[in-house]
Amino acid sequence: MSLALKNVKIIGREGRWDVLIEDGKIMRISEEEEAEKVIDCSQKYLSPGFFNTHTHAAMSLLRGVADDRAFWDAWPEIVWPLEENLNAEDVYWGTKLACLEMIKTGTVAFNDMYFFMESAVDAVEDMGMKAVMSYGLIDQNDPDKLEEEIEATKNFVEYAEDSELVEAALGPHAPYTVSKEGLEWCADYAEKNDLLVNIHVGETEKEKKDFGESHEEGFAEYLEKVGLLNDRLIAAHGVWLEKKDMDLFAENGTTISHNPASNMKLAVGKPMDYGTMKKKGVKVTLGTDGCVSNNNLDMLEEAKIAALQQKMPGDATLLDAKECYEMTTKKGAEALRCGSGVIEEGKPADLILIDKGVKGVPTHDIISNLIYSMDSSSITDVVIDGKLVMKDRKVKGEDEIIEKATERAEDLVSGVI
Protein backbone atom coordinates (compact mmCIF):
# COMPACT_ATOMS: atom_id res chain seq x y z
CA MET A 1 0.00 0.00 0.00
CA SER A 2 1.33 3.44 -0.89
CA LEU A 3 1.57 6.08 1.81
CA ALA A 4 1.79 9.86 1.47
CA LEU A 5 3.12 12.04 4.29
CA LYS A 6 1.56 15.40 3.53
CA ASN A 7 2.95 18.84 4.26
CA VAL A 8 5.80 17.68 6.49
CA LYS A 9 8.90 19.53 7.67
CA ILE A 10 11.92 17.37 6.93
CA ILE A 11 14.73 17.77 9.45
CA GLY A 12 17.73 19.34 7.72
CA ARG A 13 15.74 20.64 4.72
CA GLU A 14 13.93 23.95 4.22
CA GLY A 15 10.19 24.18 3.51
CA ARG A 16 7.34 21.68 3.65
CA TRP A 17 7.02 18.59 1.53
CA ASP A 18 4.85 15.68 0.53
CA VAL A 19 6.68 12.37 0.79
CA LEU A 20 5.46 9.36 -1.19
CA ILE A 21 6.33 5.94 0.21
CA GLU A 22 5.85 2.84 -1.94
CA ASP A 23 7.41 -0.63 -2.16
CA GLY A 24 9.32 -0.02 1.07
CA LYS A 25 11.06 3.05 -0.37
CA ILE A 26 10.91 6.82 -0.35
CA MET A 27 9.59 7.02 -3.89
CA ARG A 28 9.31 10.77 -4.32
CA ILE A 29 9.60 14.03 -2.38
CA SER A 30 7.67 16.85 -4.01
CA GLU A 31 5.16 19.60 -3.40
CA GLU A 32 2.16 17.36 -4.03
CA GLU A 33 1.83 13.61 -3.66
CA GLU A 34 -1.23 11.37 -3.32
CA ALA A 35 -1.44 7.75 -2.19
CA GLU A 36 -3.80 5.05 -0.96
CA LYS A 37 -3.12 6.13 2.61
CA VAL A 38 -2.48 9.75 3.53
CA ILE A 39 -1.22 11.26 6.79
CA ASP A 40 -1.59 14.97 7.50
CA CYS A 41 1.83 15.95 8.86
CA SER A 42 1.36 19.71 9.05
CA GLN A 43 2.18 19.64 12.79
CA LYS A 44 5.07 17.22 12.39
CA TYR A 45 8.73 16.79 11.56
CA LEU A 46 10.05 13.89 9.51
CA SER A 47 13.35 12.25 10.43
CA PRO A 48 15.13 9.04 9.64
CA GLY A 49 14.40 6.57 12.45
CA PHE A 50 17.12 5.55 14.89
CA PHE A 51 19.61 2.70 14.51
CA ASN A 52 20.63 0.95 17.71
CA THR A 53 23.95 -0.75 16.99
CA HIS A 54 24.27 -2.88 20.14
CA THR A 55 21.50 -4.76 21.92
CA HIS A 56 20.66 -8.01 23.63
CA ALA A 57 16.96 -7.52 23.00
CA ALA A 58 15.48 -10.35 25.06
CA MET A 59 17.29 -9.11 28.17
CA SER A 60 14.28 -6.79 28.41
CA LEU A 61 12.82 -9.59 30.57
CA LEU A 62 15.56 -8.96 33.13
CA ARG A 63 15.21 -5.17 33.28
CA GLY A 64 16.31 -3.99 36.73
CA VAL A 65 17.52 -7.31 38.19
CA ALA A 66 21.14 -6.25 38.73
CA ASP A 67 21.21 -2.51 39.35
CA ASP A 68 23.87 -0.55 41.15
CA ARG A 69 26.50 -3.26 40.91
CA ALA A 70 29.52 -3.54 38.64
CA PHE A 71 29.61 -5.94 35.68
CA TRP A 72 32.08 -8.37 37.22
CA ASP A 73 30.07 -8.45 40.40
CA ALA A 74 26.50 -8.71 39.09
CA TRP A 75 26.85 -10.72 35.89
CA PRO A 76 28.45 -13.89 37.26
CA GLU A 77 26.21 -13.86 40.34
CA ILE A 78 22.84 -12.81 38.92
CA VAL A 79 22.65 -12.37 35.17
CA TRP A 80 24.43 -15.45 33.82
CA PRO A 81 22.60 -17.87 36.18
CA LEU A 82 19.26 -16.32 35.15
CA GLU A 83 20.20 -16.66 31.48
CA GLU A 84 20.87 -20.37 32.03
CA ASN A 85 17.12 -20.80 32.49
CA LEU A 86 16.08 -18.91 29.36
CA ASN A 87 14.19 -20.84 26.70
CA ALA A 88 13.12 -20.12 23.13
CA GLU A 89 9.66 -18.91 24.17
CA ASP A 90 11.20 -16.46 26.67
CA VAL A 91 13.43 -15.05 23.96
CA TYR A 92 10.49 -14.71 21.57
CA TRP A 93 8.44 -12.62 24.03
CA GLY A 94 11.47 -10.78 25.41
CA THR A 95 12.50 -9.76 21.90
CA LYS A 96 8.92 -8.73 21.11
CA LEU A 97 8.85 -6.55 24.23
CA ALA A 98 12.17 -5.01 23.18
CA CYS A 99 10.88 -4.37 19.65
CA LEU A 100 7.74 -2.75 21.06
CA GLU A 101 9.88 -0.46 23.22
CA MET A 102 12.21 0.32 20.33
CA ILE A 103 9.36 1.15 17.95
CA LYS A 104 7.78 3.39 20.60
CA THR A 105 11.08 5.21 21.04
CA GLY A 106 11.72 5.67 17.31
CA THR A 107 14.19 2.90 16.55
CA VAL A 108 13.71 1.29 13.15
CA ALA A 109 16.60 -1.21 13.15
CA PHE A 110 18.88 -2.77 15.72
CA ASN A 111 21.93 -4.96 15.97
CA ASP A 112 21.33 -7.90 18.27
CA MET A 113 23.39 -10.66 19.86
CA TYR A 114 21.80 -13.28 22.07
CA PHE A 115 20.64 -16.92 22.31
CA PHE A 116 17.66 -18.80 20.79
CA MET A 117 18.02 -16.41 17.90
CA GLU A 118 15.57 -18.25 15.66
CA SER A 119 12.85 -17.14 18.09
CA ALA A 120 14.29 -13.63 18.06
CA VAL A 121 14.06 -13.57 14.25
CA ASP A 122 10.40 -14.66 14.48
CA ALA A 123 9.73 -11.83 16.95
CA VAL A 124 11.38 -9.21 14.73
CA GLU A 125 9.44 -10.44 11.69
CA ASP A 126 6.17 -10.35 13.61
CA MET A 127 6.86 -6.79 14.74
CA GLY A 128 7.91 -5.57 11.28
CA MET A 129 11.25 -4.21 12.43
CA LYS A 130 14.63 -4.48 10.75
CA ALA A 131 17.54 -6.11 12.54
CA VAL A 132 21.03 -7.45 12.15
CA MET A 133 21.01 -10.54 14.35
CA SER A 134 23.74 -12.81 15.64
CA TYR A 135 23.91 -15.90 17.76
CA GLY A 136 26.27 -15.21 20.68
CA LEU A 137 29.05 -17.73 20.16
CA ILE A 138 30.91 -18.62 23.39
CA ASP A 139 33.27 -21.62 23.58
CA GLN A 140 35.40 -20.81 26.63
CA ASN A 141 38.39 -22.45 24.87
CA ASP A 142 36.64 -25.82 24.77
CA PRO A 143 37.00 -27.44 21.29
CA ASP A 144 33.90 -29.63 21.74
CA LYS A 145 31.87 -26.60 22.78
CA LEU A 146 33.20 -24.75 19.73
CA GLU A 147 31.90 -27.51 17.44
CA GLU A 148 28.44 -27.16 18.99
CA GLU A 149 28.55 -23.38 18.73
CA ILE A 150 29.58 -23.49 15.07
CA GLU A 151 26.65 -25.82 14.39
CA ALA A 152 24.28 -23.48 16.24
CA THR A 153 25.65 -20.48 14.36
CA LYS A 154 25.29 -22.15 10.95
CA ASN A 155 21.74 -23.25 11.75
CA PHE A 156 20.85 -19.72 12.77
CA VAL A 157 22.36 -18.13 9.67
CA GLU A 158 20.44 -20.59 7.50
CA TYR A 159 17.21 -19.87 9.42
CA ALA A 160 17.59 -16.11 9.02
CA GLU A 161 18.24 -16.36 5.28
CA ASP A 162 14.49 -16.56 4.59
CA SER A 163 13.80 -13.27 6.36
CA GLU A 164 13.49 -10.04 4.40
CA LEU A 165 13.77 -7.89 7.50
CA VAL A 166 16.60 -9.66 9.29
CA GLU A 167 20.19 -9.84 8.14
CA ALA A 168 22.11 -12.68 9.79
CA ALA A 169 25.46 -11.80 11.34
CA LEU A 170 28.03 -13.67 13.38
CA GLY A 171 28.39 -13.08 17.09
CA PRO A 172 31.68 -14.21 18.61
CA HIS A 173 30.92 -12.81 22.08
CA ALA A 174 34.34 -11.42 23.07
CA PRO A 175 38.05 -12.20 22.88
CA TYR A 176 37.84 -13.42 26.50
CA THR A 177 35.00 -15.90 25.94
CA VAL A 178 35.89 -17.26 22.51
CA SER A 179 39.03 -19.22 21.57
CA LYS A 180 41.41 -18.08 18.87
CA GLU A 181 40.12 -20.95 16.72
CA GLY A 182 36.56 -19.81 17.30
CA LEU A 183 37.36 -16.25 16.26
CA GLU A 184 39.22 -17.51 13.17
CA TRP A 185 36.28 -19.68 12.15
CA CYS A 186 33.96 -16.67 12.52
CA ALA A 187 36.29 -14.49 10.43
CA ASP A 188 36.46 -17.07 7.69
CA TYR A 189 32.74 -17.90 7.63
CA ALA A 190 31.76 -14.22 7.70
CA GLU A 191 34.17 -13.46 4.83
CA LYS A 192 32.80 -16.27 2.66
CA ASN A 193 29.18 -15.27 3.29
CA ASP A 194 29.66 -11.49 3.44
CA LEU A 195 28.25 -11.27 6.96
CA LEU A 196 28.57 -8.54 9.56
CA VAL A 197 30.24 -9.61 12.81
CA ASN A 198 29.40 -8.49 16.36
CA ILE A 199 31.87 -8.62 19.21
CA HIS A 200 32.44 -6.99 22.63
CA VAL A 201 35.85 -5.35 23.02
CA GLY A 202 37.43 -3.26 25.78
CA GLU A 203 34.37 -2.77 27.98
CA THR A 204 36.08 -3.01 31.36
CA GLU A 205 39.56 -2.42 32.76
CA LYS A 206 39.64 -5.97 34.12
CA GLU A 207 39.00 -7.29 30.61
CA LYS A 208 41.94 -5.26 29.30
CA LYS A 209 44.23 -6.35 32.12
CA ASP A 210 43.34 -10.03 31.75
CA PHE A 211 43.78 -9.77 27.98
CA GLY A 212 47.18 -8.16 28.41
CA GLU A 213 48.32 -10.98 30.67
CA SER A 214 47.41 -13.69 28.18
CA HIS A 215 48.18 -12.02 24.84
CA GLU A 216 51.20 -10.35 23.31
CA GLU A 217 49.08 -8.18 21.03
CA GLY A 218 46.68 -5.39 21.86
CA PHE A 219 42.96 -5.83 21.17
CA ALA A 220 43.02 -4.55 17.59
CA GLU A 221 46.21 -6.39 16.60
CA TYR A 222 44.68 -9.59 17.89
CA LEU A 223 41.43 -9.01 15.99
CA GLU A 224 43.52 -8.38 12.89
CA LYS A 225 45.53 -11.54 13.46
CA VAL A 226 42.41 -13.71 13.68
CA GLY A 227 41.04 -12.05 10.56
CA LEU A 228 38.15 -10.13 12.07
CA LEU A 229 39.38 -6.55 11.73
CA ASN A 230 37.55 -5.21 8.69
CA ASP A 231 34.60 -3.05 7.70
CA ARG A 232 32.09 -5.78 8.53
CA LEU A 233 33.05 -5.80 12.22
CA ILE A 234 30.98 -3.90 14.82
CA ALA A 235 32.82 -3.81 18.14
CA ALA A 236 30.75 -2.82 21.16
CA HIS A 237 32.06 -0.55 23.94
CA GLY A 238 35.69 0.23 23.08
CA VAL A 239 36.23 2.12 26.34
CA TRP A 240 39.58 0.55 27.17
CA LEU A 241 41.27 0.86 23.80
CA GLU A 242 44.73 2.26 23.23
CA LYS A 243 45.53 4.80 20.53
CA LYS A 244 47.18 2.05 18.46
CA ASP A 245 43.88 0.10 18.61
CA MET A 246 42.06 3.16 17.33
CA ASP A 247 44.53 3.55 14.46
CA LEU A 248 43.88 -0.01 13.36
CA PHE A 249 40.10 0.34 13.75
CA ALA A 250 40.22 3.47 11.59
CA GLU A 251 42.47 1.91 8.92
CA ASN A 252 40.24 -1.12 8.60
CA GLY A 253 36.89 0.70 8.60
CA THR A 254 35.72 -1.15 11.70
CA THR A 255 32.74 0.32 13.54
CA ILE A 256 32.63 1.02 17.27
CA SER A 257 29.22 0.84 18.92
CA HIS A 258 29.47 3.35 21.76
CA ASN A 259 27.23 2.47 24.73
CA PRO A 260 27.58 5.38 27.16
CA ALA A 261 24.64 4.71 29.50
CA SER A 262 25.65 1.09 29.98
CA ASN A 263 29.29 2.04 30.51
CA MET A 264 28.40 4.63 33.10
CA LYS A 265 25.88 2.49 34.99
CA LEU A 266 28.37 -0.41 35.13
CA ALA A 267 31.09 1.98 36.32
CA VAL A 268 33.65 1.13 33.66
CA GLY A 269 35.91 3.90 34.95
CA LYS A 270 36.06 6.50 32.20
CA PRO A 271 34.25 7.71 29.07
CA MET A 272 35.16 6.09 25.77
CA ASP A 273 37.74 8.35 24.11
CA TYR A 274 35.48 9.68 21.37
CA GLY A 275 37.63 12.75 20.79
CA THR A 276 40.64 10.72 19.73
CA MET A 277 38.53 8.28 17.73
CA LYS A 278 36.99 11.19 15.86
CA LYS A 279 40.39 12.67 15.05
CA LYS A 280 41.65 9.33 13.81
CA GLY A 281 38.52 8.72 11.73
CA VAL A 282 37.11 5.70 13.57
CA LYS A 283 33.47 5.04 12.64
CA VAL A 284 31.48 5.53 15.85
CA THR A 285 27.79 4.66 16.22
CA LEU A 286 25.47 4.44 19.23
CA GLY A 287 23.99 1.48 21.07
CA THR A 288 21.97 1.04 24.24
CA ASP A 289 23.26 -2.40 25.24
CA GLY A 290 20.79 -4.74 26.97
CA CYS A 291 18.13 -3.80 29.53
CA VAL A 292 20.10 -5.08 32.52
CA SER A 293 22.87 -2.58 31.83
CA ASN A 294 20.95 0.56 30.90
CA ASN A 295 17.92 -0.19 31.57
CA ASN A 296 16.09 0.77 28.40
CA LEU A 297 16.49 0.83 24.62
CA ASP A 298 15.77 4.51 24.11
CA MET A 299 18.12 6.00 21.53
CA LEU A 300 17.15 9.65 22.10
CA GLU A 301 18.07 9.28 25.75
CA GLU A 302 21.29 7.51 24.75
CA ALA A 303 22.19 10.35 22.38
CA LYS A 304 21.84 12.99 25.10
CA ILE A 305 23.82 10.90 27.56
CA ALA A 306 26.52 10.35 24.93
CA ALA A 307 26.93 14.08 24.37
CA LEU A 308 26.94 14.91 28.09
CA GLN A 309 29.39 12.15 28.92
CA GLN A 310 31.88 13.29 26.29
CA LYS A 311 31.67 16.96 27.27
CA MET A 312 32.01 16.55 31.03
CA PRO A 313 35.80 16.19 31.26
CA GLY A 314 36.21 19.66 29.83
CA ASP A 315 35.35 20.19 26.16
CA ALA A 316 31.78 21.46 25.69
CA THR A 317 32.21 21.44 21.90
CA LEU A 318 32.85 17.70 21.68
CA LEU A 319 30.07 15.55 20.17
CA ASP A 320 27.59 18.29 19.35
CA ALA A 321 23.87 17.81 18.81
CA LYS A 322 24.13 17.44 15.04
CA GLU A 323 26.90 14.85 15.33
CA CYS A 324 24.82 12.92 17.88
CA TYR A 325 21.86 13.02 15.54
CA GLU A 326 23.92 11.71 12.61
CA MET A 327 25.35 8.99 14.81
CA THR A 328 21.88 7.70 15.69
CA THR A 329 20.57 7.97 12.13
CA LYS A 330 22.92 8.05 9.11
CA LYS A 331 26.00 6.46 10.67
CA GLY A 332 23.99 3.77 12.43
CA ALA A 333 22.24 2.87 9.19
CA GLU A 334 25.58 2.65 7.38
CA ALA A 335 27.02 0.31 10.01
CA LEU A 336 23.98 -1.96 9.79
CA ARG A 337 24.00 -1.78 5.96
CA CYS A 338 20.33 -0.72 5.94
CA GLY A 339 20.72 1.77 3.09
CA SER A 340 18.46 4.20 4.97
CA GLY A 341 19.27 6.72 7.72
CA VAL A 342 18.74 9.63 5.35
CA ILE A 343 15.67 11.10 3.65
CA GLU A 344 16.31 10.84 -0.07
CA GLU A 345 14.36 9.52 -3.00
CA GLY A 346 15.04 5.85 -3.64
CA LYS A 347 16.22 5.08 -0.09
CA PRO A 348 14.42 2.55 2.10
CA ALA A 349 11.60 4.17 4.09
CA ASP A 350 12.71 3.75 7.72
CA LEU A 351 11.29 6.95 9.13
CA ILE A 352 9.74 8.61 12.16
CA LEU A 353 7.27 11.46 12.56
CA ILE A 354 7.82 13.83 15.45
CA ASP A 355 5.44 16.18 17.26
CA LYS A 356 7.59 18.67 19.13
CA GLY A 357 5.24 18.84 22.15
CA VAL A 358 6.12 21.05 25.13
CA LYS A 359 9.78 20.05 25.39
CA GLY A 360 10.32 21.02 21.75
CA VAL A 361 9.08 24.60 22.33
CA PRO A 362 10.40 27.10 21.39
CA THR A 363 12.07 25.66 18.30
CA HIS A 364 15.21 27.71 17.82
CA ASP A 365 16.86 24.49 16.60
CA ILE A 366 14.91 21.27 16.09
CA ILE A 367 18.00 19.03 16.24
CA SER A 368 19.09 20.62 19.51
CA ASN A 369 15.59 20.13 20.89
CA LEU A 370 15.50 16.52 19.74
CA ILE A 371 18.85 15.57 21.26
CA TYR A 372 18.96 17.76 24.38
CA SER A 373 15.36 18.41 25.38
CA MET A 374 12.65 16.21 23.92
CA ASP A 375 12.04 12.60 24.87
CA SER A 376 10.90 9.69 22.79
CA SER A 377 7.22 10.25 23.61
CA SER A 378 7.37 13.02 20.98
CA ILE A 379 7.70 10.34 18.29
CA THR A 380 4.15 9.80 17.05
CA ASP A 381 4.51 7.47 14.05
CA VAL A 382 7.09 4.98 12.82
CA VAL A 383 7.50 3.69 9.29
CA ILE A 384 9.75 0.66 8.78
CA ASP A 385 10.39 -0.82 5.36
CA GLY A 386 7.63 1.45 4.07
CA LYS A 387 5.02 0.13 6.52
CA LEU A 388 3.38 2.11 9.28
CA VAL A 389 4.25 0.06 12.38
CA MET A 390 3.28 2.78 14.86
CA LYS A 391 0.37 5.15 14.23
CA ASP A 392 -0.42 7.87 16.80
CA ARG A 393 1.76 6.02 19.35
CA LYS A 394 -0.23 2.77 18.96
CA VAL A 395 1.48 -0.47 17.97
CA LYS A 396 -0.41 -3.65 17.05
CA GLY A 397 -0.57 -6.30 19.78
CA GLU A 398 0.81 -4.08 22.53
CA ASP A 399 -1.33 -5.43 25.38
CA GLU A 400 -0.62 -9.07 24.58
CA ILE A 401 3.14 -8.43 24.43
CA ILE A 402 3.12 -6.70 27.81
CA GLU A 403 1.07 -9.49 29.34
CA LYS A 404 3.10 -12.38 27.92
CA ALA A 405 6.49 -10.76 28.56
CA THR A 406 5.48 -10.01 32.15
CA GLU A 407 4.49 -13.66 32.73
CA ARG A 408 7.74 -14.92 31.20
CA ALA A 409 9.82 -12.46 33.20
CA GLU A 410 8.13 -13.29 36.48
CA ASP A 411 8.61 -17.03 35.92
CA LEU A 412 12.23 -16.49 35.05
CA VAL A 413 13.22 -14.63 38.19
CA SER A 414 10.80 -16.42 40.52
CA GLY A 415 12.76 -17.70 43.52
CA VAL A 416 16.00 -16.19 42.19
CA ILE A 417 15.78 -12.47 42.94
Site for a copy of itself in 103-122 (CB under 8 A): 104
**CA–CA separation, 56 and 29 (whole Å):** 36
Told to check if 284 binds a copy of itself by CB under 8 A, we report: no
CB neighbours of residue 358 within 10 Å: 8
Residues 1-40 as x/- pattern, contact with a copy of itself by CB under 8 A? ----------------------------------------
Nearest to a copy of itself of 62, 109 (CB atom): 62
**Count of residues binding a copy of itself (CB under 8 A)?**
71
Residues written for the chain: 417
CB of 309 vs a copy of itself, minimal distance in Å: 7
* SS3 state at 250: helix
Told to check if 359 binds a copy of itself by CB under 8 A, we report: yes
Distance of alpha carbon 12 from the chain centroid: 23
Told to check if 413 binds a copy of itself by CB under 8 A, we report: yes
Q: Which residues of 370-406 are buried (b: 16+ CB within 10 A; e: fewer)?
A: bbbbbebebbbbbbbbbebbbeeeebeeeeebeebbe
Nearest to a copy of itself of 140, 406 (CB atom): 406
Nearest to a copy of itself of 88, 417 (CB atom): 417
Residues 241-280 as x/- pattern, contact with a copy of itself by CB under 8 A? --------------------x-xxxxxxxxx---------
**At residue 114, what are phi and psi to the nearest 5 degrees?**
-165, -160
Q: What is the CA radius of gyration of the chain?
A: 21
Nearest to a copy of itself of 54, 104 (CB atom): 104
Nearest to 365 by CA among 300, 315, 327, 321: 321
Of 163, 296, 330, 391, the one binding a copy of itself (CB under 8 A) is: 296
Told to check if 164 binds a copy of itself by CB under 8 A, we report: no
CB of 242 vs a copy of itself, minimal distance in Å: 19
CB of 287 vs a copy of itself, minimal distance in Å: 15
Stretch that binds a copy of itself, among 18-26, 40-48, 54-62, 133-141 (CB under 8 A): 54-62
Distance of alpha carbon 275 from the chain centroid: 21
Told to check if 317 binds a copy of itself by CB under 8 A, we report: yes
For 53, 247, 279, the CA distances from 198, given in Å and listed in that order, are 9, 19, 24
Told to check if 364 binds a copy of itself by CB under 8 A, we report: yes
CB of 12 vs a copy of itself, minimal distance in Å: 16
For the chain, how far is it from start to end, CA to CA, in angstroms?
Answer: 47
Nearest to 277 by CA among 312, 241, 304, 302: 241
Nearest to a copy of itself of 153, 262 (CB atom): 262
**CA–CA separation, 222 and 372 (whole Å):** 38
What would the DSSP string read from start to end of 385-404?
Answer: TTEEEEBTTB-TTHHHHHHH
Told to check if 342 binds a copy of itself by CB under 8 A, we report: no
Nearest to a copy of itself of 96, 283 (CB atom): 96
CB neighbours of residue 242 within 10 Å: 16
**CA–CA separation, 409 and 417 (whole Å):** 11
Nearest to a copy of itself of 65, 383 (CB atom): 65
Told to check if 397 binds a copy of itself by CB under 8 A, we report: no
Told to check if 316 binds a copy of itself by CB under 8 A, we report: yes
Told to check if 55 binds a copy of itself by CB under 8 A, we report: no
Number of DSSP helices (H) and strands (E) in the chain, helices first = 16, 16
Told to check if 73 binds a copy of itself by CB under 8 A, we report: yes
Nearest to a copy of itself of 112, 298 (CB atom): 298
